[in-house]
Structure 1
Amino acid sequence: MNNKQLIPHPQSILWQEDHLVLLDQRLLPTETVYLHCTTPEEVWDAIATLAVRGAPAIGIMAVYGLYLGIRSLSEQDEEMFWAQLDRIAHYLNSARPTAVNLSWALKRVVNRAKQLRGQPIAAIKEAIFKEATEIHEEDVTVCRQIGENLLPLLYDGMGILTHCNAGGLATGAYGTALAPLYLARERGWNLKVFADETRPVLQGARLTAYELQQAGVDVTLICDNMAGAVMKEGQIQAVIVGTDRVAANGDVANKIGTYSVAVLARAHGIPFYVAAPVSSIDLDTATGDDIPIEQRSPVEVTNGFGKPTAPEGVKVYNPAFDVTPAEYVTAIITEHGVCKAPYEKSLKEAVKVERSL
């Protein structure tokens, strides 16, 4: 991949010679620190602790982590190799439960390996690495195409609200929800972007505002509880968010607070767009009620960034995601086009196109 062609902010995932290099997003925007991962355990920890996050990004990370785990296995003991391949894939898939891209990417690589069963283990290792790099490179193309498909729904000068970070830091390069903003910038448009801070980990404040500012996009940071007021003032003409999983009926799981934004958008007559690669569509999950929601540590709420902000011992509820019902979603934009209700049909068609390629 030619990183010189990508958007002007640090890339979150790089394969460097013989190991994985990750931009530690926990330290942004004040520090730029890279982690060097050589084992699947280090990759698992980076995913679980949010050193790198974003549904496409953690899928990419996981398949590189799988390769790191199997590359030194004996090439003489086939039974042990296949058992370890399944074990490491299962282990990496346990890092975070909500984003379907994690399991999608791992299944794709494992299935590719099993198609080659019977060939020399060295050739299978090589195929696993090749599939991992292809997933990484494809994500760049997929995200840009999502941006191309979403851009016709926007116009120069409009106000956009986004929640959490679905940009280049969360993917291989352009992002999903932020991809059309970068393409608009390329075309000389001046979109006015409002970024929710996204409590409790502040991905909007620390990451979205950072990467948009780096790219020269007009961005204004607001607290989460300001979104309704900004809409009422007429400063927002569209909401664009990413997603960690889309159920077959069009229900969308995304960072906690997304559902509130969708309800506010409906109340103010503002379109609510979801940018989603087909890999985030889970036709095996019937509705949003079936999507597992990750529960994270209370410390994120009570001691954000090391400073106590709540009474010691107070009870905390800290789901990392919520589910926006399909009825609040104006359209789901994939690399294969714009999906609209009835989503049971349009999402199935998008997946069908992907499988036919």
Structure 2
Amino acid sequence: MQRILVTGGAGFIGSNFVHHLVEHTDATVTVLDKLTYAASRESLAGLPEDRVSLVVGDIADAAVVEPLVGEHDAVVHYAAESHNDNSLSDPSPFVQTNIIGTFTLLEAVRKAGVRFHHISTDEVYGDLELDDPERFTEQTPYNPSSPYSSTKAGSDLLVRAWVRSFGVQATISNCSNNYGPWQHIEKFIPRQITNVIEGIRPKLYGAGLNVRDWIHADDHSSAVWTILNKGEIGETYLIGADGEKNNLEVVEMILQHFGKAADDFDHVTDRAGHDLRYAIDSTKLRTELGWQPQFADFEAGLTNTIQWYVDHADWWRPAKQATEATYAAKGQ
């Protein structure tokens, strides 16, 4: 697979994957991205022009998608509307991008006979109790709780159906919460980091006891490349790095890094339907495909991420005031 089409490749997780391909393979990459607010050309800046090209377009537009797909050996589908709060305010873009967009891509790869990998989320499984000893596995029933996770669950089921009904050469991965470079500051970890940098107290939903299974975007990228090359067609693989931390612990770690008091934050109105706990069992990926995370130590990965935001204030600062104003209007 020397020619890779990456949808959403100018967004947070997708751009990290593009950087991973440039650093670790000799593949040429085409990024198809709508360049919404959550994406940026800057995330691809400095990459070699003879290996990475950007096409601005919508994955739901068959006239754009079909010719591009036919020119590539594989499609890695990152493009998605992914912010839970936004899905509660207006679900319609989530249906259009996550379901109609995935359908459009599946039809294109079916016609072209191209390998397809679909990026999904652990949120399709709903949530776990805080004291539940179990973790999500590939056999966990779907139980999405928001417009975002529901549309991602729907897109997963489309991929499974196209594999079974039409023989599409596809795999799926469901990943835990990502953190790392180029993540929009509306998201939890970069919001708290940039708040501290700007002299604003971090904001914690409710009591902060909601648990997420954090994974650095670099580890997500290496896992996806492993699945694309070694994964069995029609199979689903869960990607996680054993990084379970509750939101309070994460905020305290960020404050500690900057030499602030552990209680130097504000409690704010909780998100509606806020899932309690996500936890990934990535045994299948590790044992069958031989993948291991580089950032197994969450604190090390968080330190790496904090430094990135310190060094790239010119990228995130122009959006900071508007982002905080949006949260303030919701009491968050």
- Whichever of the two has the greater Rg, that structure is 1
Normalising by structure 1, we get a TM-score of 0.33
Normalising by structure 2, we get a TM-score of 0.35
